[in-house]
Amino acid sequence: MYSLLALFDSPALTACPTDDGWLTHWQQWLAQHHSAALAAMHWAQSDGDSQQAQRWQRTARPPATAARLLLTSEDKSALERLAALLAAQLPERCGLYLCRYYQPLSEQQRIGERAAGTLQLCSFNALPELTAEQFQQRWLQAHTPIAIATQSTSHYRQHLVHTTLLGDAVDAIVEEQFPAAAADSLQHFFNAVGNPEQLRRNMAAMQQSCAQFIDFNTLNVIHLSDWPIAVAN
């Protein structure tokens, strides 16, 4: 599976007359471009709900973080065509990435309804001393079960960047859906409610694993509200 991610510096779109006009806008955009090859389409943006999780924000460099559009497909060429069309709608400061897509954990979501909790979106580069093979082994294979076991995520999406089309070059983008309680609770975030020793172990395991492949000088972490959008059959 492949993914195309657009990161916006503002959730506002000139084509949207209202604050929630993005839903209709992207549904119409999708229909207009006959994107039957798409498997999924999601919109996420910063709002009052997601801002409750600002304690987790980390910005090692200026990101485009106010909103995100995600398209996934088995057809890489379809995403490449859509990327060319999408680029014309992006604001001045933005990012656009074509990726290899993995989703080791997911729950069913209702189309057009805000996903519960908040979406943590992380982007980063690999440690410079790692080969591509080493990076993928440490992140996609060794780290994945640790992240799932030590955090309270319900959706876990991994984007291995194939091409940076616009914006700062990154190697990876990760999306994890956390429950609302995790916005201001370490115990809820790290899946250790009522167990301080488990919290300590989970936090240490995550930190040690991340240190094996992430260049922390490039790490950006933000929280958004996420909505699945209906896609063409």
**pLDDT tens digit sequence for 74-121:** 999 989 999 988 887 777 778 899 999 999 988 777 777 888 889 999
Q: Is the pLDDT of residue 220 over 60?
A: yes
Q: Is 175 exposed, middle or buried (0-12, 13-18, 19+ CB in 10 A)?
A: buried
**What totals of helices (H) and strands (E) does the chain contain, helices first?**
6, 9
- Its pTM stands at 0.90
Nearest to 97 by CA among 170, 150, 189: 170
Domain assignments of the chain as residue spans, ordered by start: 2-229
Topology adopted by domain 2-229:
Alpha-Beta Plaits (3.30.70)
User: Higher confidence at residue 217 or residue 61?
Assistant: 217
Name the pLDDT band for 20 (thresholds 50, 70, 90): low
Please state the φ and ψ torsions of residue 116, each to the nearest 5 degrees.
-65, 145
Q: How many CA atoms lie within 13 A of 215 on its CB side?
A: 14
Q: What six digits make up the tokens of 202?
A: 């989970």
CB 116 within 8 A of CB 183: no
